[in-house]
Structure 1
Amino acid sequence: MGGATALGDTSVTPGHFKVAGKEFPHIKWTSLKNLRNTYLLLFFVVLTSATNGYDGSMVNGLLSLKQFKDYMRDPSASIKGLFSGIMFLGSLLALPITPYIADGLGRRWGICIGSIIMIFAVILQSASMNFQMFIAARFFLGFGVAIAHGSAPLLITEICHPQHRAIFTTVYNTTWYIGSIIAAWLTFGTNNIASQWSWRIPSILQALPSLLQISCVWFVPESPRWYISKGQSEKALSVLAHVHAEGNVDDEVVQLEYEEIKETIAIEKEAEQTGWLELFKTKGNRHRLLILVSAGLFSQWSGNGLVSYYITGVLDGIGITDPNTQLVINGVLNIWNCIIATTMCFFVDKIGRRPLFLIATGGMMFVFIIWTICSERYDATKVKANGNAVVAMIFLYYTFYNTAWSGLLVGYTVEILPFSLRAKGMCYMFAMVDVALFFNTYVNPIALKSIGWKYYIVYCAWLGFELVFVWFFYIETKNTPLEEIARHFDGDAALLGGHAATEKGRIMKSEILEKDPAHVGEEERHSL
């Protein structure tokens, strides 16, 4: 697999997109009413990621507030770790049930159920009387986030027009920074409130995104792929036509998509590849699993956890101890991150997934080495310039990180999975995210306090390993329709129907017809 290019042709004529091997001219989503309205409504779906970002930045902010630390009786490093870490433990425990909600009740119900749990958690968190109550609330918050997070990217991926799928699915995770920016500057503002409201106000406002999602997610069409999986093909065709072709069910792109999705899902059901262990059974699935597990781990265990949740400890270590200064740096950093991450979303199909991952990981490793050296120099000399250099390296590090690891964490992993394994496969990825975050948020403050800058050396070595791993296992999938990405992992053994069907797909379709001739229409039987 070393540095190999993905199987199949990923090239496409400029100004075109590809479905079932055929190229079609680009369309402007702003000029099509139904597509425009759908994409605007998807804003309420991406709020799940923004809620997650809000939480991370809020915890960072609260730990900088004297009012919060005093009310929580100046929590120790281990308790600080638990404030954040318990949320990821809640997420981890929710993951086993998440795909059954998303696949059983639908993508929209998954978002709604997760939002309801998060609202309950925010109420409990905002009314906390001690750190035990605060920790319990954050456990339920993580539980709700996992359920919503396990459904939202699936809906976005499965409803977007083929031309726009890569951009929208990549944008999903970058909205983490929108929530992070709001929380960072909100806690900066409430720092001037002398009472407990300085930390209760940011906590209360954390419920707003979930309230918006519950109110608005029902206006977003359900996934056509989910409808087909439940035997509601007419609803699926109606949604595809409404969103992708202004209601024209005879549109060629819609018909090609519909046929490909319908046949592929039927073939996947026939093969009974839907269990938790399916990702271990074939070479292609094991390759997918390696990417899922590594992406979840690398996205959080690359040194970024030091800043995302414990920037106060990092800044304390270089002599920047003023709470206002720390909050300003945190707020500006999040704005910078949002700009870079959002900008890179528009280059996913132009540059490609694999090059972006390699550029990001190599750049992070190089910058982190300099970051470590500058931290050591400050520790030895206490020269302010060395501390300022660390701040500059933090901004440069995140420039590289956001080139790929922010948006493509979800954008890449969700697209490489076939429908039958998509919800469960994403749970493997999110599980590794939660494991890494739980470790980071509990261990990082203790390690920083115990050995300071020397802890950074661990990440320097780890980033080198990440770069080698990405080079050997991450393959290119750009300009490939969602169902057809299976070719890149499974070759001609991919379970793919429609006009782009593989040999294995055609064989499976014939077997289905032998068992159930009524499964497809007369025109499809004639085509065999």
Structure 2
Amino acid sequence: MPSAVGPAAVGANGVSFAHLIDPNRTWYNNKRLITLHAWIVLLIITSSTNGYDGSMVNGLQSLQQWESAFGHPTGGKLGLLSAIQTIGGLAGYPFAPYVSDGLGRRRAVLLGATIMCIAVGVQTASQNVGMFIGARFLIGFGLTFAANAAPLLVTEIAYPPYRAPLTSLYNSLWYSGSIIAAWATYGTFKINGSWAWRLPSLLQGVPSILQVALILFAPESPRWLISKGRDDEALHVLAYYHADGNESDPLVRHEFQEIKAAIELDRAVAKNTGWKSFIATPGNRKRVYIITAIAFFSQWSGNGLVSYYLNKVFDQIGITDPSTQLLINGILQIWNLGWSMYASFMVERLGRRFLFLLSAGLMTLFYMAQAICFSEYSQHGTPAAGHAVIAFIFLFYAAYDIAFTPLIVTYTVEILPFSLRAKGFTIFSLVISVALIFNQYINPIALQSLGWKYYWSAVLTARPTDLARVCLLPRMRIRLFVVLPRGDQGRTLEETAALFDGEDAINQITHQAEMEERREDSALEKRSTGRESA
């Protein structure tokens, strides 16, 4: 039997609820939608915390005050300082999905944010490299809980027409934290003493402080509430934010019935809600394959070297002034945020397949151009070649940002049914962490030993994969790899996930939703008849 997924009122390629959307209710003229989006921003800044870290590590390496405080780390020691946060994240993965599913999305974010607040305090007060490493491990551990729950809550409470762009903004705002870190380290560059690096470390805790103070006032996921038998609360959340409090609104009833039908089927098919279910059905095996591939390629597409060790690349192309390095890093993060936010709002218009194809193809070209210019500068010392490396880094990141920044989280959470969403997102995060640890630990060692040749080794190992995906097998791979085309705004989250389990699963849950609707109508009719008789 297929895994439990959401119902579709029409076929897998149809649009079932677009006509239920009130065209007069938009994000800018409806007070409750504005409030809902404010809560979503509180969740999205979880990604900013993660982005802050990567850029801060880059920036600190350009600060002589930090270098002196920790013994001028290079090679493996520098790799450990960068990778230890991700290693801390690995320690949290066995627990994160159970906290998200057991305690709820909000409390999981609260737990993670509380741990990060403590860890940032320790990091800021560090007196030696061991203390700094321990604090960064704890930041990664706490971030795992918040980062597991926050994107799930974003996609589960979003108003349906805005779900894909808002979920895409989650990962895009990684760069908002990166921008703050880049310019914070640039601003503290001239401070004499340890506060040149302690102040950027302290600022890393600002998003977590906000979440600790406010998260319990945010709405909980209606899907989680229904899974715990709290149907009235779930209906209230949906009605309050999606229909100005009208529990009889057709859109709210449609959403509520689909969510309830999907979760009821989960309970009837309990074997399809655990870890083994990921290999139990063809639909779930396809999900795991896609999630793993997206996560792996998002970190092995040539971005890992520049994301954490940009200053080392600068050193090898003749840009050694710390002020210049910090300035370029700050501008790059603003560039990245602009492109990724633009792509987030174009997801529905251009489609997921098209954006993935375009992104992978352009990344291949621009990364190879970087490698050519890097080797030209290293062998001949041509200044123009060094400047060209910077230009192609910017172009490479623009290509990366149009798909792999906004879509990897969006696509992962929307193809998973509720019962598997937290666990599936943990698989996604685990693969990313393993790939990141290699990048963070090995890259500085390899770059120090091989220099420009390391760029070409990355081309030879990573680029043929992209070339095959993009140039040789675009329809066979990408069109199967990315199921959802453009114009997905006509489907609820449950209907989107249903596409992976075929028409039988869709029909089965559609029938369940219709039964829920008939039971609800019958109950309403009895209550109405009783009042008339009285």
Q: Same fold (TM over 0.5)?
A: yes
More moved, 448-457 vs 175-184: 448-457
- The structure 2 residue matched to 1:122, chosen from 100, 120, 123, is 120
- The structure 2 residue matched to 1:145, chosen from 131, 143, 146, is 143
The answer to whether the 8 Å contact 1:361/1:463 transfers is no
Query: 2:412 maps to what in 1?
Result: 413
Cα drift, residue 24 of structure 1: 3.7
Residues 238-253 of structure 1: pairs in structure 2 closer than 5 A: 238-253=236-251
Q: Tell me the amino acid that sits aligned with residue 475 of structure 1.
A: V
* Per-residue CA distance 1:425-465 (angstroms, 9 max, x = gap): 00000001111111100000011111112222233241331
State the SS of the aligned residue for 1:129.
coil
Residues 51-450 of structure 1: pairs in structure 2 closer than 5 A: 51-272=49-270, 273-450=272-449
Query: 1:463 maps to what in 2?
Result: 463
The answer to whether the 8 Å contact 1:19/1:162 transfers is no
User: Structure 1's 73 and 277: CA in aligned 2 closer, same or farther, altered over 3 A?
Assistant: same
The answer to whether the 8 Å contact 2:257/2:513 transfers is no
User: Structure 1's 159 and 506: CA in aligned 2 closer, same or farther, altered over 3 A?
Assistant: closer
Q: How far apart, in 2, do the equivalents of 1:525 and 1:238 lie? A: 17
Q: How far apart, in 2, do the equivalents of 1:269 and 1:86 lie? A: 39
The answer to whether the 8 Å contact 2:26/2:33 transfers is no
The answer to whether the 8 Å contact 1:356/1:404 transfers is yes
Q: Tell me the amino acid that sits aligned with residue 414 of structure 2.
A: E
Query: 1:15 maps to what in 2?
Result: none
Cα drift, residue 8 of structure 1: 5.4
* Per-residue CA distance 1:221-276 (angstroms, 9 max, x = gap): 10111100000001000000001000011111001111111111111221112111
Q: How far apart, in 1, do the equivalents of 2:237 and 2:69 lie? A: 52
State the SS of the aligned residue for 1:64.
coil
Q: How far apart, in 2, do the equivalents of 1:149 and 1:397 lie? A: 26
Is there any run of 5+ residues in structure 2 with no aligned partner, and where? 1-9, 470-476, 526-534
4+ aligned runs moved over 6 Å, structure 1: 507-510
Q: Tell me the amino acid that sits aligned with residue 425 of structure 1.
A: G
Q: Normalising by structure 1, what TM-score? A: 0.91
Cα drift, residue 412 of structure 1: 1.1
Cα drift, residue 520 of structure 1: 5.1
Q: How far apart, in 2, do the equivalents of 1:471 and 1:391 lie? A: 33
* Per-residue CA distance 1:322-359 (angstroms, 9 max, x = gap): 11111011000000000111111111011111110111
The answer to whether the 8 Å contact 1:19/1:256 transfers is no
Q: Tell me the amino acid that sits aligned with residue 502 of structure 2.
A: G
Cα drift, residue 392 of structure 1: 0.2
State the SS of the aligned residue for 2:191.
coil
Q: How far apart, in 2, do the equivalents of 1:240 and 1:288 lie? A: 28
State the SS of the aligned residue for 1:457.
helix
Higher relative contact order (CA 8 A, sep 6+): 2
Q: Tell me the amino acid that sits aligned with residue 328 of structure 2.
A: I
* Per-residue CA distance 1:280-325 (angstroms, 9 max, x = gap): 1111111111111111111112111111100011111111111111
State the SS of the aligned residue for 2:95.
helix
1:475 paired with 2:483, answer yes
User: Structure 1's 518 and 355: CA in aligned 2 closer, same or farther, altered over 3 A?
Assistant: closer
Cα drift, residue 206 of structure 1: 1.1
Is there any run of 5+ residues in structure 1 with no aligned partner, and where? 1-6, 12-17, 495-501
Cα drift, residue 150 of structure 1: 0.2
Cα drift, residue 76 of structure 1: 2.2
Q: How far apart, in 1, do the equivalents of 2:264 and 2:376 lie? A: 62
Query: 1:34 maps to what in 2?
Result: 32
Q: How far apart, in 1, do the equivalents of 2:459 and 2:410 lie? A: 26
User: Structure 1's 507 and 96: CA in aligned 2 closer, same or farther, altered over 3 A?
Assistant: same
- The structure 2 residue matched to 1:491, chosen from 498, 502, 519, is 502
The answer to whether the 8 Å contact 1:224/1:239 transfers is yes
Q: How far apart, in 2, do the equivalents of 1:262 and 1:466 lie? A: 41
State the SS of the aligned residue for 1:489.
coil
Q: Tell me the amino acid that sits aligned with residue 485 of structure 1.
A: T
Q: Normalising by structure 2, what TM-score? A: 0.90
More moved, 136-145 vs 462-471: 462-471
Counting aligned pairs with the same residue, the percent is 45
Query: 2:528 maps to what in 1?
Result: none
Q: Tell me the amino acid that sits aligned with residue 499 of structure 2.
A: H
User: Structure 1's 424 and 466: CA in aligned 2 closer, same or farther, altered over 3 A?
Assistant: farther
Cα drift, residue 470 of structure 1: 3.9
